[in-house]
Amino acid sequence: MQAALPSATTAAAPPRLLRPPIPAIVQQHADDAAHLRHLRSVLVRAPHVKLLQLQRLDDRLEAHLDGLAVAGAYGLARAQEALERPGCGEVFAALVCALQLPDEPAVDRLLSLAPVLPEAWRGAVSALGWVSPAQLRERVRGLLASPQPWRQALGIEACRLHRVDPGPALAAALQQGDALRRDAALRAAGELGRVDLLPGALALLDFAPEAARAACLLGDRTFALRAIEQSAFATPAAHPLRSLAVQALDWPRARDAVRALAHDPQAVRQLVRGIGWLGDVRLVPWLIERMGELPLARLAGEAFSFITGADLAALDLERKPPEDFQSGPTDNPEDEDVAMDEDDSLPWPDADRVQRWWQAEAARFPVAQRAFVGGPVTPAHCLQVLQVGTQRQRALAAQQLALLQPGRPLFPVAAPVWRQRRLLGQPAR
């Protein structure tokens, strides 16, 4: 059944200014809203961030967006000035402001940037996912009815992010040739749990990369899963579908696929990650050994937590960083390595203390089944991880829950926290 967004008439109008806005304050709102949106894209995937930390950032971001809304047209003008450098955060802030006013001409101008610049597309989609459903009903209806494929794609993305079924528009988009619209429809079908569209997703396996993921989430464990497995393990390099493959494959097959990474010395980081997703407690001692190797120590600690659920910091199982260790780019202008540290924000495990903890706790972990964040792979435990886990753990829990119950919408771990708390049945904090 098609869900409906609340009527736009229920949206609260922005409060009117009683005195002229203060330019410096409004400019600060515009700058900080864009910056915090950039920061949020990092935190939703961070290894140490939980729902509470993400909510603190969301509260700050919403306060700056409210400041722009209160400033009315002046606030929108300041946000639009930042579009001289139209990054994701700048487009997001300006479009949220335009939608909240609402200023329809400004909304149309901002949306027209989306098909031209990839960063603008990301910002527009993010803004559509941020604002309240009451501010989107008529806008999304118009996007879905547009003759322009990119506008239809935006409408479908908005419905996906709000976990609202766009109805017949979804099936129609799967049958039409435009790749942007088709891929948006495949993402939405998989994440909304539209099992009736599984045949359509399977028919696109040879044409659209998104089709295999969608079909797998919708319950296919043959053609789609085979395509995901082949793609995810075609090379030892990291692949965005590898965690899905490890979780969806039966355990012996997943174990063989992960262990095959051990044949390539260059793939040791991918092997450590895969063991964490695999949840084989028999490999925990190997992970503890890797905690003594500086390049792998923190990653091995995270994999250990994926399996056992142990919070290294809370259990006092971490140590100080090595004195001679440098993380990320250095201040040396002659250093050509400017790559960020992949393991930044992960704790440094103390291998000896971790070993003692494991000796005391290992007996409670059955060796004949997967372990996931300290518990069995069940819907109830996945829901618990969604409540208390880190963002990376929560993303795996959401994915696992959808695999366990095809047709259940994928939990949106990157959604605004107040929306996540509502879906989890938690009170706002």
Task: Please tell me the predicted confidence (pLDDT) of residue 23.
Answer: 85
In a domain, 8, yes or no: yes
In a domain, 165, yes or no: no
Beta bridge partners of 348: 319
Q: Which two tokens stand for residue 279?
A: 């949840």
- Mean pLDDT, rounded, of the chain: 92
Distance separating alpha carbons of residues 195 and 224, to the nearest angstrom: 14
Task: Please tell me the predicted confidence (pLDDT) of residue 4.
Answer: 47
Task: Please tell me the predicted confidence (pLDDT) of residue 427.
Answer: 77
CA angle 28/30/35 to nearest 5° reads 90
Q: Any idea which of 47-56, 129-138, 378-387 has the lowest mean pLDDT?
A: 129-138
Q: Are residues 134 and 241 in the same domain?
A: no
- Find the mean pLDDT for residues 166-179: 91
**Percentage of the residues of the chain whose pLDDT score is greater than 90:** 84
| pLDDT-based confidence at residue 7 (cuts at 50, 70, 90) | very low
pTM: 0.91
* Residue 9, pLDDT above cutoff 90: no
Q: Are residues 125 and 244 in the same domain?
A: no
Answer yes or no: are the C-beta atoms of 257 and 242 closer than 8 Å: no
Q: 180-239 pLDDT, tens per residue?
A: 999 999 999 999 999 999 999 999 999 988 999 999 999 999 999 999 999 999 999 999
- Final residue of a structural domain among 121, 140, 159: 140
Task: Please tell me the predicted confidence (pLDDT) of residue 332.
Answer: 52
- Final residue of a structural domain among 87, 117, 140: 140
**Percentage of the residues of the chain whose pLDDT score is greater than 70:** 92
CA angle 270/273/277 to nearest 5° reads 130
Q: Any idea which of 56-60, 82-86, 248-252, 323-327 has the lowest mean pLDDT?
A: 323-327
In a domain, 34, yes or no: yes
Beta bridge partners of 319: 348
Q: Which two tokens stand for residue 306?
A: 């994926």
How many structural domains comprise the chain? 2
What is the DSSP-derived secondary structure letter of residue 133?
G
- Final residue of a structural domain among 110, 140, 170: 140
Name the residue range of residue 114's domain. 1-140
